[in-house]
Amino acid sequence: MKIAIFADIHGKMLLPFRLVDLYQQQTNTKIDLILQCGDLGAFPDTNNMDKATLKYAQYDRDELGFSQNCVKINPKIEAFLEKLNLNMICVRGNHEDHDFLDNLEEKSPETEGFFAIDVYKRIFVCKTAFFQKINLENIQQTLNLVGIGRIGDRKNRTEKRFIQPNEKQNIKKLLKTKEIIDILITHDKNESSQRGFGMTEIDEVLENLVVLYHFHGHTGEPFSMKKMENGITTQIKIKELEFDNEGVLPEGCMIILEKKENQEFSCEIVPKKITNLLPKHFFNGE
């Protein structure tokens, strides 16, 4: 089982799918699933965008990608996604339309750990701290996955970009599990950084449960990969999926994690020699 992992796409909803398509062509290998660590930029109505997203959208129209590409069916996009035949499972970031996501989550079955948010039913958002076993068609393996969305807050603010009381309760329930978590995806990180990021509830999960891989975004810090002090968890900060001034993507913005038949994992940082084949002008169809 091979999984492509991204973070902070900020409206570029199709870019992870196009990068996976490119990777498959260049390496002649099959990707089975996409995971994404929040800040989707899931705003179906641009009138509901937060101030930061509106600011960036003035200079980068890709910030509007969800409203442009995921609300009404575009036959070309539909055909591309149908041919690729992959789903992307995400967590919420702090730059989303949380009222929109809350409405979809409330309508979803309680027994399901994620819910579709796009018209093509290819992009899904995890319910925070819902332990789920992912079973993929024609793959004789399962993936134990947990997602924790939004960001932490030390000031007890109630805005929806911050972790909510019901989600904190879900995390307390999760701490009782005896299962090994293959992958934990979060938007925020687990401990305070120099810029003041961090969610204490993520610390609780990492300290009390067996987590093999923890992926996160959000902080603006460089890509990094390290073994945590517990000697078990590999923690990976994924670089934001943002084009630089030259229109190319940074190293560390796309990770491939493989779960092998012997249940061991291997991790690949997709090199720029591959991602550079999809510059911004090409992604935008210029």
Tens digit of each residue's pLDDT (9 = 90 or more) over 75-108:
999 999 999 999 999 999 999 999 999 999 999 9
Measured at the alpha carbon of residue 188, what is the angle toward residues 183 and 194, in degrees to the nearest 5? 125
Copy the structure tokens of residue 37. Answer: 């660590």
**Residue 7: count of CB within 10 angstroms of its CB:** 32
3 state SS of 31: coil
Copy the structure tokens of residue 109. Answer: 């079955």
Mean pLDDT of all residues in 42-69: 81
Residue 198 banded pLDDT, cuts 50, 70, 90? confident
pLDDT at 120: 97
Q: Of the given ranges (27-36, 66-75, 152-161, 268-277), which has the lowest mean pLDDT?
A: 152-161
Quickly list H helices, 117-231.
165-174, 200-208
User: What CA–CA distances, in Å, run from 70 to 16, 99, 243?
Assistant: 14, 17, 21
Residue 157 banded pLDDT, cuts 50, 70, 90? confident
pLDDT at 18: 96
Quickly list H helices, 175-267.
200-208
Q: What is the DSSP letter of 47?
A: G
Cβ neighbours of residue 253 closer than 8 Å, sequence gap 6 or more: 6, 7, 223, 238, 239, 240, 241, 242, 270, 275
pLDDT at 286: 45
Rounded CA separation 82/72 (Å): 16
Computed over every residue of the chain, the mean pLDDT equals 91
| Helix, strand, coil share of the chain (percent; to 5) | 30, 20, 50
More confident site: 195 or 176: 176
> Residue 195 pLDDT > 80, yes or no?
no
Q: Which fold has domain 2-283?
A: Purple Acid Phosphatase; chain A, domain 2 (3.60.21)
pLDDT at 16: 97
Residue 42 banded pLDDT, cuts 50, 70, 90? very high
Residue 192 banded pLDDT, cuts 50, 70, 90? low
Rounded CA separation 230/211 (Å): 10
239 in Cβ contact with 252 (< 8 Å):
yes
Per-residue model confidence as pLDDT tens digits over 213-248: 999 999 889 999 999 999 999 999 999 999 988 889
Q: Which of 260, 90, 280 is nearest to 187 (CA)?
A: 90
